[in-house]
Every structure is written in C-alpha cells, then in structure tokens.
C-alpha cells in the first residue's frame, strides 16, 4: 500500500530547494537574463552558510549555541555569498554584455567547484580537529518545527513538520507571484524582459531592473542550497550531494511556465517524482528505478514542446531571454 503520509513530507523536503531555485530563476528570467549559473549559485549559497555556521560553532567551542546567531549567521553568509555570485553574473552580462549562456555555465563550474572545494577542505584550511563537517547543533535550530506538529497526527506530519525555511520558501514564492503580476514594479520588470528597448524608451531603468531582479533571484536560489544542507541533510556537508537539483530547478521554471505560485505545487510534484523510485515496488529490478528518475525531465520536455506548439502568448518565455541589451545597437 502506498504510504502517502510518509511519502508527502519527503516529497516536500525534496521540493523546497527546487522551489527556492525556481522562484529565483523565474525572477531572473523575467528580467531577460537566462542565468544558467543557478546550480553553481545554490552550491555557493549552501557552502557560505556552512562556512558561517562552522566558524560560529568553532568560536562557541562546545558551549551551547543560542538560537538567534545560530540562524542569523549562516543565513546572512548564505545571502551574501549568493549575492556576490549574482553581482558577478550581472557585471559580466549586463554591464559588460557578455554572452549569458557562457557566463552562466562558467558560474556553475566555479560555484560547484567552490562548494566542493571548501566543503572538502574546510577542516584542513582552518586546522580544526573535528573529523567531518557536521553542524548538527546549528542544523537543529533550522529543523525546529512548529510545537504542535507532533500532537496533530497525520495532519501535523504532512503540513506542520518542516523547518521555518520551508514555509519561508512558500511565502517568498507567493510574494514574488504577487509582485510580478499585481504591482507596477512587476509590470516594469516583465517589460524589461520582453522588450528592453521599449522599456528603455518608456523611461524604465533597464540596467537597474536587471541587476535587482538577478541579484534578488540569486539570493533566493542560494537559500535553497542553505535549506538543503541545514535542514534536509541535517547540517552534514558531503561533496556533490546536492547533485543536479539546480538544473531541475531550471526545468521547473519551464514546467510552471514562469509562474512562482504554480511552482509551489509543481516543486512538490517534482520532489515526489525525484524520490518516487524509492516507493514503487519493482521487486529486485533496480534498473527500472533508473528510468523512473527520468520522469521529471521527460515531463518538462513534454511541457516545453506543448507550450511551443500552442503558441499562447502569455505562456511563452520572456521575448528577450538570453539577449544582452545595448541601447545604441540598431
């Protein structure tokens, strides 16, 4: 029998990093920047948080940690790390008008390398005596769930059992959706992504919108990395454990047709598909499980094709996606 009560929370926990990543990438893409550096940025967000927490735990030297700095320090470090990556991307693609695909791929190479390098060498570099990077003390603050989750039975397990970053992800997605569709800022942002020349002629500061959208998007995506390592992985960093979730987040952007609010449910669906192979009774046939792991990508591909076949205008990618803008061109 399929155990939905145990399956659903695991799907959600798989989905939250994807939700952060896709919300961040949607904001970025709405400004016309196709940031393929998101997988790298999520690694940087995660490792920056880990470095912050590691240094804090080291400085506490065995004394009990207090809740506020234990949460604030890793979060600020994570936000700062991914902000710097976002600024780098903007500087190269917006100010220097470099090719977005190449810049993004270079950022992913750099970011994944950065994460794995510091994750693997943190102990050696700081000369500390712990055997591995396990930040269980800090992680326990991130994992604190609502007080009445335990007593609420299956409802508590399915909806109340998550750390605060999971609820924050949903709030950020709803808020982004509101800003994009219901405010003037969102309207301007979308116009920058559709036709920067028109937006520029209408007096909108294209460069400013691109910088802000991309940097805020990067910071949101970086939080996804932080959630993964601090909550899902219980504060234990292992190299390459984050895997290809960053690319899956980019897939999710297409799957949701650039809508952060849809992404909330879609990310849980993707999270579920990501671990579905664990729940499907295939007997001893391990090979078939590998095919189940293909599902999220196949489904995204089908959505991409259907969207382009139907040609509905509101479902298309932002028209200037992937192109740099130079006012004096043409």
Partner 1 sequence: MLSRFHISKRSSLSPQKAWLIRGGAILLALVICGIITTITTGLNPLDVYATIFQGAFGTARKSWVTWQNVSVLLGISLAVTPAFKMRFWNIGAEGQVLIGCLASAACMILFGDKLPNGLLILVMLLASLFAGGLWGFLPAFFNARWNTNETLFTLMMNYIATQLVAYYIIVWEVPKGSGKIGIINQNSQMGWLPQLAGQQYLLSILIVAILTGAMYIYLQYSKHGYEIAVVGESRRTASYAGIKVDRVIIRTMTLSGAVCGLMGLLLVSGINHTMTTTIVGGRGFTAVMVSWLAKFNPIAMIFTSLLLVFLDRGAGEISSVFSLNRSFADILTGIILFFIIGSEFFINYEIHLTNSAETEGERHV
Using CA atoms, how far residue 242 sits from 34, 163, 300, in Å, is 21, 18, 20
Could you please report the per-residue DSSP string of 242-311? TTTHHHHHHHHHHHTTS-HHHHHHHHHHHHHHHHHHHHS--TT-HHHHHHHTTHHHHHHHHHHHHHHHH-
- Given 60, 76, 105, 168, the residue binding partner 1 (CB under 8 A): 105
Q: Is residue 34 close enough to count as binding partner 1 by CB under 8 A?
A: yes
Q: Is residue 113 close enough to count as binding partner 1 by CB under 8 A?
A: yes
Using CA atoms, how far residue 208 sits from 37, 103, 140, 173, in Å, is 20, 19, 39, 22
Q: Which stretch binds partner 1 (CB under 8 A): 9-17, 102-110, 131-139, 212-220?
A: 102-110
Q: Is residue 114 close enough to count as binding partner 1 by CB under 8 A?
A: yes
Separation of alpha carbons 319 and 59, rounded Å: 50
The smaller minimum CB distance to partner 1, of residues 25 and 231, is found at: 25
Nearest to 49 by CA among 188, 235, 189, 194: 235
- Given 106, 133, 165, 189, the residue binding partner 1 (CB under 8 A): 106
Region at 236 (left for phi over 0; alpha for psi -120 to 50; beta for the rest): beta
Q: Is residue 108 close enough to count as binding partner 1 by CB under 8 A?
A: yes
280-309 footprint of partner 1 as x/- string (CB under 8 A): ------xxx-xx-xx--xx-xx--xx--xx
CB of 181 to partner 1, least distance (A): 22
The smaller minimum CB distance to partner 1, of residues 120 and 186, is found at: 120
Report the Cα 48 to chain-centroid distance in Å: 14
Residues 261 and 177: beta-carbon distance below 8 Å: yes
Q: Is residue 5 close enough to count as binding partner 1 by CB under 8 A?
A: no
Residues 57-96 that bind partner 1 (CB under 8 A): 88, 91-92, 96
Q: What residues line the site for partner 1 (CB under 8 A)?
A: 34, 36, 88, 91-92, 96-99, 101-103, 105-117, 119-121, 124-125, 239, 244, 247, 250-251, 254, 286-288, 290-291, 293-294, 297-298, 300-301, 304-305, 308-309, 311, 317, 321-322, 326, 328-329
């Amino acid at each position: 029998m399929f155990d939905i009560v145990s399956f659903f929370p695991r799907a959600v926990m798989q989905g939250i990093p994807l939700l952060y990543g896709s919300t961040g990438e949607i904001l970025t893409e709405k400004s016309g920047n196709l940031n393929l550096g998101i997988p790298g940025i999520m690694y940087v967000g995660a490792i920056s948080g880990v470095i912050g927490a590691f240094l804090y735990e080291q400085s506490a030297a065995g004394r009990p940690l207090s809740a506020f700095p234990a949460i604030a320090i890793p979060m600020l470090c994570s936000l700062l790390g991914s902000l710097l990556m976002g600024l780098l991307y903007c500087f190269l693609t917006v100010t220097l008008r470099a090719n977005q695909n190449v810049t993004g791929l270079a950022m992913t190479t750099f970011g994944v390398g950065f994460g794995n390098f510091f994750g693997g060498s943190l102990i050696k570099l700081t000369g500390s005596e712990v055997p591995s990077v396990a930040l269980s003390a800090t992680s326990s603050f991130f994992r604190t769930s609502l007080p009445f989750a335990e007593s609420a039975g299956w409802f508590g397990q399915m909806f109340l059992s998550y750390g605060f970053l999971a609820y924050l992800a949903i709030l950020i997605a709803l808020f982004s959706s509101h800003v994009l569709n219901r405010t003037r800022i969102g309207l301007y942002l979308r116009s920058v992504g559709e036709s920067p020349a028109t937006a520029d002629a209408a007096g909108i500061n294209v460069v400013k919108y691109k910088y802000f959208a991309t940097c805020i998007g990067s910071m949101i995506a970086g939080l996804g990395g932080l959630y993964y390592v601090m909550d899902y992985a219980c504060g234990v960093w292992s190299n390459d454990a984050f895997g290809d979730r960053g690319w899956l987040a980019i897939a999710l952007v297409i799957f949701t047709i650039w809508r952060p609010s849809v992404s909330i449910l879609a990310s849980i669906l993707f999270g579920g598909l990501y671990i579905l192979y664990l729940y499907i009774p295939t007997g001893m046939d391990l090979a078939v499980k590998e095919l189940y792991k293909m599902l999220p990508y196949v489904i995204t591909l089908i959505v991409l094709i259907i969207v382009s076949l139907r040609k509905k205008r509101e479902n298309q990618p932002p028209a200037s996606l992937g192109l740099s803008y130079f006012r004096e061109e043409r």
